[in-house]
Amino acid sequence: MRTGGVIVVALIGGLLAGLLLSEIIGIIGMLVFGTVAGIRFLPVYLAVAGAVAAPLLYRRSRRRSRPR
């Protein structure tokens, strides 16, 4: 159940980070080049990457924090 929650949080966080990064790239592209710049579907890519990486990192951190 916790892994599912971690995946959902990672999806939402990746989507929001992707939106923010996409907007920053767009603004810099307009200021520097005077034309539209960006990566298509960046928020989706980051959401999927976060959903894949988060459970792996969560398990890794749980394994290290076990008392010996």
Predicted confidence at residue 23, as pLDDT, reads 95
Beta-carbon-side half-sphere exposure of residue 25 (alpha carbons within 13 Å): 14
pLDDT number for residue 30: 94
- What does the pLDDT read at residue 1? 66
pLDDT the model gives residue 62 = 73
At 4-38, the pLDDT tens digits run 899 999 999 999 999 999 999 999 999 999 998 88
Q: Give the residue from 57, 40, 59, 49 showing the smallest Cα distance to 11.
A: 49
Kindly tell me if the per-residue pLDDT of 60 is higher than 90. Answer: no
CB 64 within 8 A of CB 28: no
Burial of 63 (0-12, 13-18, 19+ CB in 10 A): exposed
